[in-house]
Amino acid sequence: MMMLLMLVVIFIAGLTGYSAKALSASGAVAAIIVGSAVYLGFHSKGLVLLGVFFVSSSYWSKYKSAAKKTMEEKLAKGGARDWRQVFANGGAAALFSLLYFFDHSPLWVIGFVVALASANSDTWASEIGSLSKTNPLFIRTFKQVEKGTSGAISGLGSMAALSGSLLIAIISIWLFKLDLMAGLLIFLLGFFGNVIDTLIGAFYQQLYVCNCCGIETEKRIHCGQPTTRIKGISFMENDMVNFLSGLIASIMAICIFRFFFPL
């Protein structure tokens, strides 16, 4: 009965996200799948942490959205998350939850938590950092570039990234009864996931140019026409970068806890 009730709650949450235009139709379906997988492994505790990520990141995505309109022309993502974005940010967490369902190792808890800390850190950095009064620095050249450029950093964005990871770490300590050392490592590794995202974005993420207006963008279609790829690996688009950065940070966390801080 409890499982059925929670599945209904997850379904309603997906519909609510769609109604609030935080999720597209495909994004709502993906969110229901991710939520169900998280509930299988970590039950209500996992859903609370997933909810903190989703609600907070959705809030910052909508915050001063009018000021972000120009930047969205460069980004592959829009205001409402589709299924690719949902799996990119929640897929790794869902994977570790399913692993925990079959094997109750505390290492999967660490993987789950760090995956969400990394996703929250990256989302906060992107959404809040885009509101910086100064243009960010591209880490390959340390020259100023337009806001929304993958691989660029700003002071405001870095502070937001630290805050996003810290929030997940603090709530994880409370939910999963972790000690302060574990919480500190989760915080640092969650932030490091954002750093990995920035590095992959700068060196390997694909970038296109619009043949009509000349803007550099992550979109394959712009001004109604196919764009031309000018940088990056063909399959390394923004959602893949997000998924890999969270997964790498989680695997690093699991290895550190496995060999140096056994739980």
The Cα–Cα gap between 95 and 41 comes to 9
Collapsed DSSP state (helix, strand, coil) of residue 102: helix
Regarding pTM above 0.75, the answer is yes
- H or E stretch at 216: strand 216-217
**pLDDT at 181 (0 to 100):** 93
**pLDDT at 199 (0 to 100):** 92
**pLDDT at 75 (0 to 100):** 58
Domain that holds residue 123: 2-259
Q: Are 243 and 92 in contact (CB under 8 A)?
A: yes
Angle at 153 between CA 147 and CA 159, to 5 degrees: 110
Cα separations in angstroms, 190 against 10, 160, 168, 210, 244: 25, 12, 9, 34, 13
Q: What is the DSSP code string of 217-258?
A: ES-SEETTEE-EEEES-TT--HHHHHHHHHHHHHHHHHHHHH
Q: What is the DSSP code string of 47-92?
A: HHHHHHHHHHHHHHHHTTGGGGHHHHTT-S--SSB-HHHHHHHHHH
**pLDDT at 263 (0 to 100):** 72
The Cα–Cα gap between 245 and 88 comes to 10
**pLDDT at 66 (0 to 100):** 60
The Cα–Cα gap between 144 and 155 comes to 13
166-167-168-171 Cα dihedral, nearest 10 degrees:
120
**pLDDT at 67 (0 to 100):** 57
Q: Strand 221-222 relative to strand 143-144: parallel, antiparallel, unpaired? A: unpaired
Quote the tokens at residue 248.
């790498």
**pLDDT at 123 (0 to 100):** 93
Please tell me the total count of domains within the chain. Answer: 1
Strand partners, 23: 81
Q: Are 222 and 210 in contact (CB under 8 A)?
A: yes
Digits of tens for pLDDT over the chain (263 positions)? 677 787 777 888 888 888 887 788 898 899 999 999 999 999 999 999 999 998 898 888 877 666 555 555 555 555 678 888 999 999 999 999 999 999 999 999 999 999 999 999 999 998 898 888 888 888 888 888 887 777 888 899 999 999 999 999 999 999 999 999 999 999 999 999 999 999 998 888 887 777 787 676 777 777 777 776 777 787 788 889 999 999 999 999 999 999 988 77
The alpha carbons of the chain give a radius of gyration, in whole angstroms, of 18
Q: Are 33 and 95 in contact (CB under 8 A)?
A: no
Cα separations in angstroms, 215 against 72, 131, 160, 232, 257: 12, 20, 27, 17, 45
What burial letters (b/e) apply to 125-155, b meaning 16+ CB within 10 Å?
bbbbbbbeeeebbbbeeeeebebbbbbbbbe
**pLDDT at 65 (0 to 100):** 65
Q: For residue 157, how many other CB atoms are within 10 A of its CB?
A: 24
